[in-house]
Structure 1
Amino acid sequence: MWFFFAVAAAICFGIRGILYQWTSQRPIDRNLLLLGVYISGTLIALVSNVIAQQPWSNGAWYGVLMGLFSFIANASMYRGYAVGKASIIALFSGLPPLVVVVVAYILWGEVLSAWQLTAFFIVLLGLILIKYSQDLKLNQLKGVQWGILTMLFFGFSDVSIKQSTIAGASTLPALIIMYVTGTVLFGISWVISYTRSHGKDSTVQEKDQHVEASNKTTLQNTPPSWTIKRTLGWGMIVGISNIVGMIFLFSAFRHGITGIVSAISAMSVALVILYAHFYLKENLSKREITGLIVTVVGILVLRLTS
């Protein structure tokens, strides 16, 4: 059953990725968007647990690590896209399952069978083919440190979920703590960035009143940024897909093999690729098509050997 939970998580995260892609084309504050995602998760998890009455235990405190690792991974990915090549960051963002397999072996002695290991690397190869860009050159590795941090901390986030299930944590209490932690961290980040940006705007206006007039035509052609209320509200809508995916992921990690579950959930990128092809009318390269086929083959092998 854990296999189907992992696939369901991948579908939810794929929907989240599609919503993120759509949002990325709008003038929106990403920190505020993610704050809305985590507020939504907090509220949904709280209300759900009032109904479900899942017990609290010390294992739920691993949610702090989950929220912290998720925050660092998202912040690193955002910073990487800002200063480095997108292809480098995208490549590393598809590699957390590799980290998870290594850490799971070190911490819990989880060993994959020969068939499972083969299937795992088939899936990983498919993800790399989908993420890899032909313009990626070894001499153009600016931002690689942020890509490595993205890979590590998304992997650590998955490991902390598994550890919380081993410690006996119920799903909803752990998620409540995770989302509260993320809400606090993204809230602080947004306040800092908001204060800085408005401070800069005030300084510019005081220095030169004529700049605004000279750029009036340009500003008129630039779409206005989303309001705080609209951005936060949209983030809360996106957050629904995120927490549903996390609930499925918890169930998958509770009963499944850590590295395999992580690899299957990373398949969410395939859904985003298909969305871009069929809805946005973007052409798929031969490399992306090959990656999709290889990944599906890997998933089928995993299903047959699990």
Structure 2
Amino acid sequence: MWLLLSLLAATSFGLRGILYHWTSQQALNRNALLCGVFFSGALITLACTLATGEAFTVSSLIGVQMGLFSFGANASMFKGFAVGKASLVAILTALPSAIVVVVAFAVWGETLNMAQLSSFIIIIAGILLVRYSNDITRGNLQGAQWGLLAMLLFAGNDLSGKWSTLMDAPLFPTLVCMFSSGSICFGLWWLRDMRSLRFASLAAGHSADLVNKRGWSFRRTFSVGMAVGITNAVGMMFIVTAFDVGKAGLVSAVTALNVLIVLLYTRFVVKERFTKLETIGICAAFAGILLMRLYGS
């Protein structure tokens, strides 16, 4: 069951990655979009809470920690897609599983066998090949930095999700706390952007409305963000449920296969070309993830 749930989470997060990449190339306010993403998740999980009758408990406040990690991770991934190479950012965001397995072993005693250790080495080797390929430019290096930060924060989010299941936190109230805290963070950042825009437009002698016409309106951006948020909310429901019935490292590793969907998109839709070294690195990283899935139990 955990494997099916993890694959469903991977599909949802893969679609989210594609939508993040597409929106990152548009003339819109990033924080307005991501505020919509998390606000949508809060509404969906609140409706599920009311429908199932689950009660808010002290343990559901772990969702606030999940929200803070997810806030930083989503912002970093979106920024990486905007300034760097999508394939490089996507492959870096597949690595939280390695961190999760190590921490889960150290903190909760989840077994780390030789197959998992071998998988880590293969994955890291693949990432290093991608990182130091001849096609890396200054812009791609910047994208790699944001991708690395997203990787660490997504690992923190996964570990927090596993912790919530160990504490018997109710699923939907926990996710309400997660999405609400993330929505508040992005909302405050959005308000700061609006204030800066207003001051800049007044200083230039223009109205804020005139400046906004250069890109997407805030209303349109927020609405699109709410649509993207459906994939994020569904993915979190699947992955937290999978954490409840499976090992944290294995669930995180299988969910990391969402990068395959993003890479296929960047190759066949965005038409990004991979160098030979990048191709070898990407294949090695996928091989490590697959080995972890096949032999990590």
Q: Which of residues 202, 219, 223 is equivalent to 1:233? A: 223
- Whole-Å Cα distance in 2 between the matches of residues 231 and 131 of structure 1? 32
Q: Which moved more, 1:177-186 or 1:124-133?
A: 124-133
Q: Is the 8 A contact 1:35 1:232 kept in 2?
A: yes
- Whole-Å Cα distance in 1 between the matches of residues 260 and 143 of structure 2? 24
Matches within 5 A, 1:190-201: 190-201=190-201
Q: Is the 8 A contact 1:120 1:260 kept in 2?
A: no
Match of 2:100 in 1: 100
Question: What percent identity do the matched residue pairs reach?
Answer: 41
- Whole-Å Cα distance in 2 between the matches of residues 244 and 94 of structure 1? 18
Q: Is the 8 A contact 1:94 1:131 kept in 2?
A: no
- Whole-Å Cα distance in 2 between the matches of residues 127 and 38 of structure 1? 30
Q: Which moved more, 1:69-78 or 1:185-194?
A: 69-78
Q: Which of residues 250, 261, 270 is equivalent to 2:260? A: 270
Match of 1:214 in 2: none
Matches within 5 A, 1:246-261: 246-261=236-251
Q: Secondary structure at the match of 2:204?
A: helix
**Per-residue CA distance 1:10-68 (angstroms, 9 max, x = gap):** 11111011111111221111100000001110111011122222343322110000001
Q: Is the 8 A contact 2:87 2:263 kept in 1?
A: no
- Whole-Å Cα distance in 2 between the matches of residues 152 and 11 of structure 1? 21
Match of 2:22 in 1: 22
Match of 2:31 in 1: 31
Task: Read off the aligned partner of 2:116 and give its amino acid letter.
Answer: Q
- Whole-Å Cα distance in 1 between the matches of residues 168 and 4 of structure 2? 22
Task: Read off the aligned partner of 1:270 and give its amino acid letter.
Answer: L
Residues 177 and 279 of structure 1, relative CA distance in 2, 3 Å threshold: same
Deviation at 1:274, TM superposition (A): 0.5
Deviation at 1:107, TM superposition (A): 1.8
Residues 279 and 88 of structure 1, relative CA distance in 2, 3 Å threshold: closer
Q: Does 1:162 align with 2:152?
A: no
Match of 1:119 in 2: 119
Q: Which of residues 234, 238, 244 is equivalent to 1:244? A: 234
Match of 1:211 in 2: none
**Per-residue CA distance 1:50-87 (angstroms, 9 max, x = gap):** 222234332211000000111123344566778x8668
Matches within 5 A, 1:282-293: 282-293=272-283
- TM-score w.r.t. length of structure 1: 0.81
Match of 1:53 in 2: 53
- TM-score w.r.t. length of structure 2: 0.83
**Per-residue CA distance 1:279-303 (angstroms, 9 max, x = gap):** 3343344345434544554454344
Task: Read off the aligned partner of 1:198 and give its amino acid letter.
Answer: R
Match of 1:279 in 2: 269
Matches within 5 A, 1:125-136: 125-126=125-126, 133-136=133-136
Q: Is the 8 A contact 1:123 1:263 kept in 2?
A: no
- Whole-Å Cα distance in 2 between the matches of residues 148 and 32 of structure 1? 23
Task: Read off the aligned partner of 2:9 and give its amino acid letter.
Answer: A
Q: Secondary structure at the match of 2:205?
A: helix
Residues 304 and 87 of structure 1, relative CA distance in 2, 3 Å threshold: closer
Match of 1:209 in 2: none
Deviation at 1:193, TM superposition (A): 1.3
Matches within 5 A, 1:201-212: 201-205=201-205
Task: Read off the aligned partner of 1:257 and give its amino acid letter.
Answer: K
Which stretches in structure 1 are left out of the alignment for 5+ residues?
207-218
- Whole-Å Cα distance in 1 between the matches of residues 88 and 269 of structure 2? 24
- Whole-Å Cα distance in 1 between the matches of residues 246 and 126 of structure 2? 21
Matches within 5 A, 1:145-224: 149-205=149-205, 224=214
Larger gyration radius, structure 1 or structure 2: 1
Q: Secondary structure at the match of 1:154?
A: helix
Q: Is the 8 A contact 2:24 2:79 kept in 1?
A: no
